[in-house]
Structures are given as C-alpha cells and as structure tokens.
Amino acid sequence: MKVLVAPDKFKGSLSAAEVASAVAAGLADARPAVVVETLPVADGGDGTVDAAVAAGFRRVRVPARGPTGEPVTASYAVRGDTAVVELAEASGLHRLPGPPAPLTATSAGTGDVVAAALAAGSGRIVLGVGGSACTDGGAGLLTALGARLLDSAGRELPPGGAALSRLAALDLSGLSGLSGADFELASDVDNPLHGPRGAAHVYGPQKGASRDDVETLDAALRHWASFAGAEVAERPGAGAAGGVGFAAMAVLGARMRPGIELLLDLLGFDAALADASLVVTGEGSLDEQTLSGKAPAGVARAAAAKGIPCVAVSGRCELSSVDLAAAGFSAAYALTDLEPDPARCLAEAAPLLRRLARRAALAHL
C-alpha cells in the first residue's frame, strides 16, 4: 500500500517539506509496512520555489532589489529550460525592511530574478504570485527587463504605483532577451487591475494603503493601463500581485493558469499519484480560502479525479464536514484536536503533526 503526502506549508511554523516529513513519520509509526512518498506542494504563493526544489528542481540564488530598493538575495528554481520564479522571493511583504510602502514599493526585484533566469538560458518562466508588497501594476517588473517609463519631461519615473499617474510615455524597445520566452502566470486571483474589485481597492489595505492611498493607486493604475494595455486591465487576474498579473499578460504575453493546477503539473503530481491508495494534504488553516483554489483543495480535486481518497491535516480547521466532503476530503485532522493552545500548536507543530498523522493512519490505513 502506498500513501502520497502532498501538503502545503503551515505558515509561521513549518515549510511544506517539514510538514511532509512529520506526516510521513507519523504514518510510518502507525503503519510501518506502508510505502510513503512525499511531494510538498504550493499554489504559486510563498513556498513555491521550495516546493519546486523538493521536487527535483535546482535552486539558483541571485542578487535582486527588495520592495523598497534595498539589495536582497532571492532564489528561483530551474530544471531543464523551465524556471520557477516566486514573486515573494524579492518583492514580498516579508522583504520590507521597515513599515509598508504602499505608494512606492516596486516589483523590480521580481524582474531582476526573471532577467537572471532568462540570461541563464531558461525559455519557460513560471511566475508564481502571492504575498506582494507592491501595487505598481508590474511596472517595476518591466523596467528591470528594460522598459522605460517616462514623464512629460522625458525623465524616468521613480519606483512605485503612485508615480504612474505622471506617466507620459512607455518605451518597450529596450526589452531584451524575451524572444521566444514563454511566460505562465500561476495565480488564483480573478480581480481586474483597477476599479472596485481591482488591485488597489481589494489588496492595497493589506499592504498598508490608507483610504486616500487606495484612490491614488487606483487612478494611477487606470492611467498605466491606458499605455500598457487597457483591454487587458479588465481580464481576470490582471490585479494579481498589485498588477504584476496585468504587466505579465499585457506586455510579456503570459498565460494565466490556476496556481495549484499549474504547480501540480510542474511538480509531477500525476506520476506521484500512481498506485497510491490514500493522499494526505494540508495547510496551516483549513478555512473558506482553502476552497477558493488553495493547494489542499487542488490536491483533493486531483485525487478525486483518480478515485483516490484524500484526508487533510492542518493547524486548525474551520470548515464543516459538509464543506470538507464537497471539496473532496474524506476527513480532516487539526493540531487543535490535540492541543487547544494556538501558541503551543505553533511552537510544537512538528511533533503534534506526527501524532496527528498516526491518528489518521489508524483510521484510514
């Protein structure tokens, strides 16, 4: 009997690989004869590069600019001519050296990483978006690849979304190294670039934007779209990562696919699923967001398509049994079932998860 363990991270406590390791140990404790295969997964957000590396990609570290321009070391993952670039590696909220900078934060660092991958010979770029610190419409991404954004005096605009309101000319003639490159956007965000459901209104406050900042950024993004591709601005996903989705689709010709669907293909999930009798997935919190394209729901859906039962492990579970069944989960187990103190669940996540996996094994194997 084979069990495939394919979890996402437990944010704030364990990486996806650490979750998979703890679950595998617990399954082996209860059922030593069971063959356990681990495949950490991600949905395009934080942890995407780590998941790719765990699946056999090679990690490449490169210098890049952080959201406010400070130098950082970011990673991408490569196998063959495919590079997996995670926006949060350079342009994520966790990269901010201080308070949020909603008007001036830039996606230029993500462009630095993409440029490095292209220069190293990658012909296919999978761009995972999530956890972005910026709302610059992807302008920084494009400038790092050679685009020039000019004001009415012919001067280059400073970084950040607010400056886009002064854009007078967009020069794409400097984009280099893109010939023949194939860009895929891994995202589950369906928001347009601007408007009430746009990047600024929906996600700006999470990045420190005040009510006035939101209006400033939304107007600037609308102006930006009039230069870079107004017809793409309304497309679902254009608002992903503060508008990086827009720039990727409008200028780089990126195709958008649901993040977990794209990542499961990339990580070889179907091959790993062969001959499995049970799948174990999970993430830190099973809640309403899980049902909206998060990794565990994608894993459960893929397992169900092959007629294989799937159980979930998590730090906490806020879904009803009806919701779980509708999403394809046979059962769900939470650390809070064993330890009601959330602080201890975070501090002792690995040993608690091992115990939880033993419980799941006894019930399902």
Q: What is the CATH number of the domain that holds 24?
A: 3.40.50.10350
- Of 8, 16, 184, the closest CA to residue 85 belongs to 184
Distance of CA 194 to the CA centre of its chain: 21
For CA atoms 286, 290, 291, 294, the dihedral sign is: negative
Find the largest Cα–Cα distance for the chain. Answer: 72
pLDDT at 301: 95
Same-domain check for residues 75 and 32: no
pLDDT at 331: 97
Helix residue ranges, H only, the chain:
16-30, 48-54, 87-91, 108-119, 139-144, 199-203, 211-228, 230-233, 244-250, 259-267, 269-273, 295-305, 321-326, 342-347, 349-364
Same-domain check for residues 35 and 62: no
Same-domain check for residues 102 and 236: yes
pLDDT tens per residue across span 124-136: 999 999 889 999 9
**Kind and range of the H or E run holding 313:** strand 310-317
Measured between alpha carbons, how far is 167 from 154 in angstroms, rounded to an integer? Answer: 10
Contacts (Cβ under 8 Å, ≥6 apart) of 309: 278, 279, 303, 330, 364
Q: Tell me the CATH number at 140.
A: 3.90.1510.10
pLDDT tens per residue across span 90-137: 999 999 999 999 999 999 999 999 999 999 999 999 999 988 999 999
pLDDT of 48 > 90? The answer is: yes
pLDDT of 159 > 80? The answer is: yes
Percent of the chain scored above 90 by pLDDT? 95
> Number of helices and strands (H, E) in the chain?
15, 13
- 161 — pLDDT class (breaks 50, 70, 90): very high
For the chain, the average pLDDT equals 96
Same-domain check for residues 202 and 289: no
pLDDT of 41 > 90? The answer is: yes
Quickly count: other Cβ atoms within 10 Å of residue 275's Cβ. Answer: 11
Structure tokens at 326: 């509708």
Percent of the chain scored above 70 by pLDDT? 100
pLDDT at 162: 98
> Per the confidence metrics, is the pTM higher than 0.85?
yes
Domain that residue 335 falls in: 2-39+269-364
Measured between alpha carbons, how far is 165 from 176 in angstroms, rounded to an integer? Answer: 26
Measured between alpha carbons, how far is 27 from 362 in angstroms, rounded to an integer? Answer: 8
pLDDT of 81 > 90? The answer is: yes
* Strand-pair partners of 150: 156, 169
pLDDT tens per residue across span 13-38: 999 999 999 999 999 999 999 999 99
pLDDT at 144: 97
Structure tokens at 334: 């939470």
pLDDT at 179: 80
- Mean of pLDDT values over 292-308: 94
Hey, what amino acid is at 239? G
Same-domain check for residues 158 and 215: yes
Same-domain check for residues 30 and 140: no
Same-domain check for residues 218 and 95: yes
Same-domain check for residues 76 and 124: yes
pLDDT of 176 > 80? The answer is: no
Same-domain check for residues 117 and 6: no
- 292 — pLDDT class (breaks 50, 70, 90): confident
**What are the two backbone dihedrals, phi and then psi, of residue 278, each rounded to the nearest 5 degrees?**
-155, 145
Same-domain check for residues 254 and 298: no
How many domains does one find in the chain?
Answer: 2
Same-domain check for residues 215 and 126: yes
Residue ending a domain, choose from 260, 291, 318: 260
Given a contact cutoff of 8 angstroms between Cβ atoms, the answer to whether 123 and 83 are in contact is no
- Mean of pLDDT values over 79-88: 97
Same-domain check for residues 19 and 56: no
Residue ending a domain, choose from 229, 260, 291: 260
Contacts (Cβ under 8 Å, ≥6 apart) of 308: 273, 276, 277, 278, 279
Three-state DSSP state, 85? strand
Residue ending a domain, choose from 221, 236, 260: 260
